[in-house]
Amino acid sequence: MAIYINKQTRVLVQGITGKQGSFHSGQMLEYGTGIVGGVSPGKGGQSVEGVPVFDTVFEAMEQQPAEASILFIPAPFARDAALEALDAGIKLLVLIPEHIPLHDAMDIMAYAKTKGAVVVGPNTFGLVSSGQSKIGIMPNKYFIPGPVGVVSRSGTLCYEIVGHLTASQTGTTTVVGLGGDRVVGLHFIDVLKQFEADPETKAIVLVGEIGGSAEEEAAEFIAREIKKPVIAYLAGKSAPPGKRMGHAGAIIERGKGTFDGKVKALTAAGVKVAALPAEIVQLIKEKI
């Protein structure tokens, strides 16, 4: 098992004929992802990596019904493409682009809610159920099956940590990138709930960062609902207050979202917080 996606998940790629879309379609296919179609307005009838391309999501859904879609669409057009996917019946939408306007993201989330759909991102590397299906842009080789569920706000840092796990032969069930924007579809809590219910996930790694209140909310939820061991790593210990560190979330304002506050909240919830990424491996091994 795994969460959100598996071997059977049928996937569309929106923006498949672009540079990123075509490259990552190849990577995903190589990983084993069940890509059944691509969408690029005006490019219907072509094929990319052997995948048929359609003009609209509705057309793709008629010809090649899918449950999930991943977007490689420039930020200004992402809202339209996302709403189209949701309107056409996509139930899991992965938004890769960064710089999607905040109000567009709110529009997408509001519409997804009315449609009962799950949105991953925006500004995410996607998600992968190791050994089964990858809907995202992460490097294939680090994601091998195993007992650890990983959920992260940032991308490369997550690869770093999964890389350590992989190097020590500890694989993952599912790895979910929440995305670095202020408004994203999935929060830690949503994913933790899924991991708790997934029998194959034996321990959970939470990769957070300063700014916002997602880690504090997660801590509260963990204390209340999560029985499985949770290990955390948080980035931003050294960040000076008031400076925006890349992600919209990674800014410390008004005394909220500080490193110390987050560590305190997580520790109180029984979560071990690693001081360095590499320590995660040892902490996980102690738990499983």
**Least distance to another protein, CB of residue 1, Å:** 26
Side-by-side strand order, sheet with 230-235: 133-136, 126-129, 172-177, 145-152, 203-209, 230-235, 272-274
Q: Between 196 and 209, whose beta carbon lies closer to another protein?
A: 209
Q: Between 199 and 242, whose beta carbon lies closer to another protein?
A: 242
d(CA 118, CA 163): 27
Q: Between 226 and 274, whose beta carbon lies closer to another protein?
A: 274
**Can you state the angle between helices 102-115 and 75-87, rounded to 10 degrees?**
10
d(CA 258, CA 235): 11
Closest CA to 78 of 122, 12, 117: 122
**Least distance to another protein, CB of residue 35, Å:** 18
Q: Between 118 and 198, whose beta carbon lies closer to another protein?
A: 118
How many Cβ atoms sit within 10 Å of the Cβ of residue 279?
A: 16
76 Cβ partners below 8 Å, 6+ apart?
Answer: none
Tell me which of 24, 164, 187, 247 is the catalytic residue. 247
d(CA 81, CA 104): 11
Instruction: Read off the tokens for 193.
Output: 């709930």
Contact 152, 158 (CB under 8 A): yes
For residue 38, what are the CA distances in angstroms to 12, 41, 152, 219?
Answer: 5, 10, 27, 39
Instruction: Read off the tokens for 56.
Output: 């609209």
**Least distance to another protein, CB of residue 150, Å:** 13
Q: Between 192 and 198, whose beta carbon lies closer to another protein?
A: 192
**Least distance to another protein, CB of residue 142, Å:** 8
**Least distance to another protein, CB of residue 22, Å:** 14
164 is catalytic: no
Active centre residues (catalytic): 247
